C-alpha cells in the first residue's frame, strides 16, 4: 500500500471506531537507541510561533539551556549505547553561546542534524558550518523551518518579517555549499496537499536552490498549537491493538530518546509533559513507554517522525 493511502486508511479506521473509556494504551519497547536528541537551548527561542507544539519563546524557561557538561555526559552515555545519529533542537539551538563547541564534540562521534529557524545564521556562522562540515568525519545537516511560499502565509504563524529572513538564511547556507532541508508544517498554508507541496518545491527552486530538500510535518495539537487551533478529541488516542502486526517500529520512539536539562524523555514532542519524564540518565530512558499521550495518535496515523 502506498504510504499516503496507508495513513489515510489508518485515519479513517481511527475515526470510525468506538473506544471504551478504560481501554489501555499500547506499550512500546525500545528496539535499539539509534537516535539521540538534545534539547540544547531548552524552551528558549527567539520566536514564539503560534503553532509551536512546545510553546517555546523568549520567556519560556520550563527547560533551561543545557550546560556543556550535560551535553558531554549525554554524548558519553550515547557512546555506551551505540547511538548512530544526533539531533540538536530547542527552542533555537543557535542562541546557545557554546553551540560551536557542542557541534564539534558531537561531530567527533556521529552525524548531526540541527533544527533551526535560521534567523541567527549570519554569514560568519554559515561559513563556519560549511568549514566544519568539510573537515568533519561525519555529516552535518541543517533543517530550516518555513511555513509558506509568501510572507502572508509564513508570517501569520512565525511572526512579522520572518519570511524574508528565513529565505535569506536558506540562500546564505546554499551559497556556502550547504543545502538545508526546508521543513514545512502541513495544514498550515494548505501544505498537506500534493499541489501545495509542488508549489513549495518550485518556490524554493525559484530562489536559486537547484535541488530543494523538503520535509512536511503534521502539526501536534499541543502547546501553543492547541490554543491556536484545537486540542485532541476523545477518539484521538491509541489503544492496545492499534499498532497491528508491525508493532511500533514506524514510531520514532522505538529507536530514539531525548535529553534535556530536566532529564530524559521518550521523544522531542513530549518534553513539556511531566508524566513523560523517564528519569535523569539514559539508563532510565531504556525502559518501555506507554503510548498514552494523544500526540502519539498523530505519530501513528500521520506517520510523523521528527528525524530527517
Q: What residue ranges bind ligand SF4 (CB under 6 A)? A: 45, 47-49, 52, 56-57, 90-92, 117, 145, 251-253, 266-267, 269-270, 289, 291, 293, 295-296, 299
Whole-number Å distance between alpha carbons of 147 and 200: 10
- The grid coordinates of residue 171 equal 540562500
Q: Which residues pair with 37 in a beta bridge?
A: 87, 258
CB of 119 to ligand SF4, least distance (A): 8
User: 48 vs 130, which CB is nearer to ligand SF4?
Assistant: 48
Instruction: With CA atoms as reference, report the closest residue to 187 among 57, 304, 60.
Output: 304
Q: Smallest distance from the beta carbon of 210 to ligand SF4, in angstroms?
A: 26
Q: E-assigned strands of 3-93?
A: 27-28, 35-39, 85-89
Nearer to ligand SF4, 210 or 234 (CB): 234
Q: How far is the CB of 266 from ligand SF4 (least distance, A)?
A: 4
Residue nearer to ligand SF4 on the CB measure, 206 or 263: 263
Cβ 137 to ligand SF4 shortest distance, Å? 29
Among 234, 244, 255, 245, smallest CA distance to 305 is for: 255
Nearer Cβ to ligand SF4 (212/223): 223
- Cα–Cα distance for residue pair 3/307, rounded to 1 Å: 17
| Smallest separation (angstroms) from ligand SF4 to the CB of 43 | 8
Cβ-based neighbours of 252, under 8 Å, separated by 6 or more: 35, 267, 299, 305, 306, 307
- In the complex with ligand SF4, the residue whose CB is nearer, 202 or 233, is 233
Spatial strand order of the sheet with 256-260 comes to 213-217, 181-185, 140-145, 112-116, 85-89, 35-39, 256-260, 263-265
Amino acid at each position: 500500500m502506498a504510504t499516503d493511502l496507508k495513513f489515510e486508511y489508518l485515519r479513517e479506521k481511527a475515526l470510525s471506531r468506538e473506544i471504551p473509556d478504560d481501554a489501555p494504551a499500547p506499550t512500546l519497547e525500545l528496539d535499539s537507541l539509534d537516535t539521540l536528541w538534545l534539547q540544547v537551548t531548552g524552551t528558549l527561542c527567539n520566536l514564539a510561533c503560534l503553532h509551536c507544539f512546545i510553546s517555546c519563546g523568549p520567556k519560556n524557561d520550563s527547560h533551561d539551556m543545557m550546560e556543556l557538561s550535560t551535553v558531554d555526559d549525554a554524548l558519553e552515555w550515547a557512546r555506551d549505547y551505540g547511538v548512530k545519529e544526533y539531533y540538536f533542537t530547542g527552542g533555537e539551538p543557535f542562541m546557545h553561546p557554546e553551540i560551536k563547541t557542542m557541534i564539534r564534540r558531537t561531530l567527533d562521534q556521529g552525524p548531526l542534524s540541527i533544527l533551526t529557524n535560521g534567523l541567527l545564521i549570519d554569514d560568519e556562522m554559515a561559513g563556519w558550518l560549511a568549514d566544519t562540515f568539510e573537515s568533519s568525519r561525519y555529516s552535518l545537516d541543517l533543517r530550516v523551518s518555513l511555513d509558506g511560499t509568501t510572507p502572508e502565509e509564513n508570517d501569520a504563524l512565525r511572526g512579522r518579517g520572518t519570511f524574508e529572513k528565513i529565505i535569506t538564511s536558506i540562500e546564505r547556507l546554499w551559497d556556502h555549499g550547504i543545502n538545508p532541508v526546508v521543513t514545512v508544517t502541513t495544514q498550515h498554508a494548505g501544505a498537506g496537499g500534493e499541489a501545495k507541496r509542488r508549489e513549495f518545491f518550485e518556490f524554493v527552486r525559484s530562489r536559486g536552490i537547484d535541488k530543494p530538500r523538503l520535509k512536511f510535518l503534521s502539526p501536534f495539537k499541543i502547546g501553543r498549537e492547541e490554543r491556536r487551533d484545537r486540542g485532541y478529541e476523545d477518539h484521538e488516542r491509541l489503544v492496545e491493538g492499534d499498532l497491528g502486526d508491525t508493532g511500533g517500529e514506524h514510531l520514532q520512539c522505538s529507536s530514539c530518546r531525548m535529553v534535556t536539562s530536566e532529564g530524559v524523555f521518550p521523544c522531542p514532542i513530549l518534553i513539556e509533559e511531566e508524566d513523560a519524564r523517564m528519569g535523569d540518565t539514559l539508563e532510565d530512558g531504556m525502559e518501555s513507554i506507554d503510548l498514552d499521550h494523544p500526540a502519539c495518535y498523530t505519530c501513528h496515523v500521520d506517520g510523523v517522525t521528527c528525524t530527517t
